[in-house]
Amino acid sequence: MRSLARRYGGQADIVDAVANRSMRLLSVPADDAVQRSLRSALSELHEFAGWCCFDARAYEVAGMHFTGAVKLARDANDPYAVAYAMYHAGCMTEERGHPNDALKLFQLGLCKLYESDDPRAPALEAWLQVDSASAYAHLDCHPDRVRSELALAWDTWQPPHENDRGGMEWVTALVERDLGRIDVAERLAASSVRHWAATGNRRDAALPAITLAELHVMAGEPRGLVMAKTAIDTVVLLYTVRARERLNPLAAALEARRGGDARELARMARQVAGS
């Protein structure tokens, strides 16, 4: 299911049903160690269901899954899983336009993560810090505060695999764009696109491609229109509302350009974003 979601987007209805149905497993008699392991696994499943629902913009259902994931992880005494669920809940909260609430979730996630000896903890800590930088940027904090959070995320982080590097570069590109450092943002977005190109994760690969096209259009570069058309065509084939909505900033950049081609691409982007 995770592979399908990464390749095509969507899957919210299926994963939501599986996650809810799997809760019946908690009624099966088992010793404490098995019960803790089961709760950790169910926490991961509910976090995944929450992310699929978030991708589909089913916010209320997503929030219920994230809350369930935190509770299950706490019952399992699994601080890493608690932090993991809080991180994704924070990402959803920030994208909904509530950076202050998102920052609180990221900070709570970091506090729980410091209790964990899970080998995956350093990578998650970096994710919490880079998205904290994004939240600070949206709160109009001083750029130095935002950059210090970015530095904390990157200085000691070693990506578990290339997917993580591509994702981290994209989020950092968004922050740099918000800080007005368009050249830095373009370089990071381009690197993210290259990293995702080697994977089958078409859902997440579409996000930096949209951002890169937007940056080229903003800069007035001629190939920006070609990149915008490619990004729009890519999103049309995906079942992800999140990527579709990301086309709105691209459409705004296109609308600021002169010429019939830019206007037509802006119209297409708005149409796909709203479909």
Reading the block at residue 152, the tokens are 């904390």
Residue 206 CA, chain-centre distance (Å), reads 12
pLDDT at 241: 94
pLDDT digits (tens, 9 = 90+) for 23-59: 999 999 999 999 999 999 999 999 999 999 999 999 9
What whole-number distance in Å separates Cα of residue 73 and Cα of residue 87?
13
pLDDT at 275: 86
pLDDT digits (tens, 9 = 90+) for 146-168: 999 999 889 877 777 766 889 99
Tell me the CA end-to-end span of the chain in Å, nearest whole number. 24
Mean pLDDT of all residues in 109-123: 94
Q: Domain 167-275 adopts which CATH fold?
A: 1.25.40
* pTM for the full predicted model: 0.93
Neighbour tally for 263: CB within 10 Å: 13
What whole-number distance in Å separates Cα of residue 183 and Cα of residue 185?
5
- Structural domain boundaries of the chain? 167-275
Dihedral angle over CA of 91, 78, 161, 235, nearest 10: -30
